[in-house]
Structures are given as structure tokens and as C-alpha cells.
Structure 1
Amino acid sequence: MTHMKKFQDIIMSKSMRGLCKEEDYTFLAMTEKNPEGAVEGALEKDCRDRKEDRVRRRLEREQLEKERIREIEEIKKEKEQQWRTHVEKLTSNQEKNLQERLTRLRRFREFQRKVLVGESGMEGRLAVNQLLPRM
């Protein structure tokens, strides 16, 4: 009945009192061993535990954030590298196409020159050289 005497001043419903009996007995056991120090020590320990838990969770969040940022940067670098490779391929293909086109154009000009020289004869060589740039 010590339980009833110590907690009778606390206003509480009967059902709530039934739910809290086990906690009350635990609390009473702690206060009987060390009336003042145990309660304060338990509260301090509980506060320390909560603080450590908050710090631990904060560090975990920071670590996850750093990892997420690192992954984003890696993906960004990979995309940049893919883009550079793509641009290099396009540039190289364009240069190759231009070189092939230049070669075909030179061959065609040589062919034109041969045809014009053949049609006009040797004396028309000067006229052919003047005529070709106009084309």
C-alpha cells in the first residue's frame, strides 16, 4: 500500500492508474534504493542517451547527405565524359567527311581539267586554266 500512499495526490483516472502501476513500482524501487540520486541520475542518463542519439542521427544524416552529393557529382562527371566523347566522335566524323569531300572534289576538278584539255587541245591549256576557276 505504500504505492497508494505515495501517488494518491496525483490526479489520474482508475484505468490510467492501472496502466501506470508497473511504472510506478519501478519508480518506487529506484527511489527506495537512492531517494534523490537515483532519480536525478536516471534523468541525467536519459538526457545523455537522448542527446547522444540525436548526435548520432545527425551524423548519420550528414554522412548520407555527403554520400548522396558524391554520387550526384560522379554521375555528373560521367555524363560530362559521355558528352565529350560524343562531341569528339561527331567532330572526327565531320572532319573525315570534309576530307573525303575535298578529295572527291579534287578528283572531279582533275577530271574536268583533263576533259577540257582533251576537247580543246594543247593550245587551249591557258583558256582551260582561266575557265576552271570560274566554274
Structure 2
Amino acid sequence: MDHVILFEGIPMSKSMRGMCKEEDYAFLGEKGKHHKETDTLGEDWKEEKMERERRRRERAQQEQERIRELEESRKEKEQQWRHHVSELASTQEQRLRDRLARIHHFRDFQRKVLVEEMSLQTDSESSQALDQLLTRI
């Protein structure tokens, strides 16, 4: 009757002891029997807790890795976009220079043709008339 000793070891007042019967605390005697089961349950609980913690850390690590990869991808795309824009700008600038050169070449050609057709001489009046005529064209 170990439970009697355990029952007597529980601190409570005399009136409380009268209301509580030893039979009510008979489960205290069974506590020793279930102690091993409780230990294994406690170990299982600890293992589950450790497993949950490990999975949580893995998820956090995977999330950090995903965020890092997204950031790298964003930076790479931004770098590609800047490179693309600079190529477009340089291409457009080169096209404008080429177009300007072609226009100057065409103007010189027009000037030469008009001088030959009009048989104008290279004095200043004829040069001004030629410039006016080219401007109108």
C-alpha cells in the first residue's frame, strides 16, 4: 500500500483530508507503473519536438535560399535590362550619325548637280541663290 504513504505525504488540511479519501488517490500507486510509459512518451515527445524544430530550421533555410535566388535573379535581370538599354541607345545614336552623314552626302550631291545644271559660277551671289534653292527643296 504505497499509495497510503503517498496519500499521507500530500500536504492538505485536516478538513480536506476528511473529504478526500485514500481511494481517491489510489491512482498515485499506479503512477509508478506508468512511469516507464510516461518516460517513453516524454522521449517520443522530445524527439517529435526536435524533429519539428529541425524541419522548421530547414524551411527557414530553404526560404532564405529562395529569397537569395530571387534577389540574384532580379539583379541579373536588372543588369541585362541596363545592358539592353545601353545597346539600344548606342545603336540609335549610331543610326542617327549614319543618317546625318547620308543627309550631308545627299546635300553635297544635290549642290553639285544644281551647280552643273544651272551652270552657275562659284561667286557669292550664286552660292546664296544655291543655298536658298536647296533650302526650299
TM-score range, shorter chain: 0.5 to 0.7
The alignment partner of 2:33 has SS state of coil
Q: Distance in 1 between matches of 2:127 and 2:73?
A: 64
Q: Distance in 2 between matches of 1:121 and 1:101?
A: 30
1:121 aligns with 2:121: yes
The aligned counterpart of 2:47 is 49
The answer to whether the 8 Å contact 1:117/1:125 transfers is no
CA-to-aligned-CA distance 1:28-80 (integer Å, 9 cap, x gap): xxxxxx63543332222221111111111111111112112211221222122
Q: Which structure would you say has the larger RCO, counting Cα contacts within 8 Å and 6 or more residues apart?
A: 2
Stretches of structure 2 that go unaligned for 5 or more consecutive residues are: 1-31
Q: How many residues align?
A: 102
Q: Distance in 1 between matches of 2:93 and 2:65?
A: 42
Q: Distance in 1 between matches of 2:136 and 2:49?
A: 89
Q: What TM-score do you get using the length of structure 2 for normalisation? A: 0.64
Question: Which of 49, 59, 62 is equivalent to 2:60?
Answer: 62
TM-superposed deviation, 1:92: 0.9
Stretches of structure 1 that go unaligned for 5 or more consecutive residues are: 1-33
Aligned-pair RMSD on alpha carbons?
1.9
Structure whose CA Rg is larger: 2
The aligned counterpart of 2:108 is 110
TM-superposed deviation, 1:96: 0.6
Deviates more, 1:121-130 or 1:60-69: 121-130
CA-to-aligned-CA distance 1:86-132 (integer Å, 9 cap, x gap): 22112211111110110111122122223323432235222112111
Equivalent AA in structure 2 for residue 128 of structure 1: L
Equivalent AA in structure 2 for residue 86 of structure 1: H
Equivalent AA in structure 2 for residue 59 of structure 1: R
The answer to whether the 8 Å contact 1:113/1:132 transfers is yes
Q: Which 4+ stretches in 1 moved above 6 angstroms?
A: none
